[in-house]
Copies of this chain bind each other. A is one copy, B any other.
Amino acid sequence: MSSQKAWAVVAGVGPGTGASVARRFAQKYSVALLARKSANIDPVVEEITAAGGKAIGISADCSDGKSVKKAFEELKKAMGGATLAAAVYNVGGRFIRKPFLELSEEEFESGWEANGRGAFHFSQAVLPLLLDRVDASPEFPPTLIFTSATAAMKGSALCASFAAGKFAMRALAQSLAREFGPKGIHVSHAIIDGVIDIERTKDWKFDHPDAKIKPEAIADSYWYLHTQPRTCFTNELDIRPYIEKW
């Protein structure tokens, strides 16, 4: 294996899960952050760099194949001869709650664009790089993680768009796990069931303390998944605050 530090790539970096995952993986790897708006990425890149890590930001729209292709050309240039150790797809798209008959095609499609098509392009870009790393006998199996939601398990009323997208993402994660697991790649689908504790949800009140999921805890979970040896791959796990009803 090259003596260079390996990389991790995180797509879908806002102030919550994506940023925490990037920080966590930056403790061991160089990290590339992908998001549509560089405003979301820049502070995280700066923070990781200031802390002595290595991070780059690339703007990309994962639902657009050309944009993903361009982003990964940039990433590969930055990587030089290094390998890709982990990839996290954290693009959620809009959560639309609306009577079905009021949904526009564009609104219904948005769930698929983020969770289906975007996950497809991202997976096609990262899997060849993760396969390369298998040959390098890394400490931890190369890993691809999808951030999902309870909507992947249950199609609730008024949530057709988001649920259709998350169900599709779960199908993709299973299919990839079954195809690429035997090739040494760990594919996981993480069902995040609860409100995440970020600036935007700061004022959402609950009866109990700790009612919101800390993004750092999600990041720790993803890191744990990454460290599982190949005799012990977890394809699916749920994550929820202790007080969540389910």
Contact = CB atoms under 8 A, between A and B. Distances in A.
Given A214-B232, A233-B242, A171 B178 contact: no
A228 interface: yes
A51 interface: no
A206 to B, nearest CB: 11
Q: Which of A105, A208, A211, A218 has the most CB of B within 10 A?
A: A105
B214 A229 contact: yes
Interface residues of A, number: 78
A118 to B, nearest CB: 11
Contacts of A178: 155-157, 246
A71 interface: no
Copies in the complex: 4
Interface of A: 65, 99-101, 103, 105, 108-109, 112, 116-117, 120-121, 123-124, 127-128, 141, 151, 154-160, 163-176, 178-182, 184, 186, 194, 197, 208, 210-214, 217-218, 220-221, 224, 228-244, 246
Given A141-B242, A186-B242, 13 more contacts: A112-B112, A155-B171, A160-B171, A164-B175, A178-B246, A181-B243, A213-B232, A220-B228, A230-B241, A232-B240, A232-B241, A234-B237, A236-B238
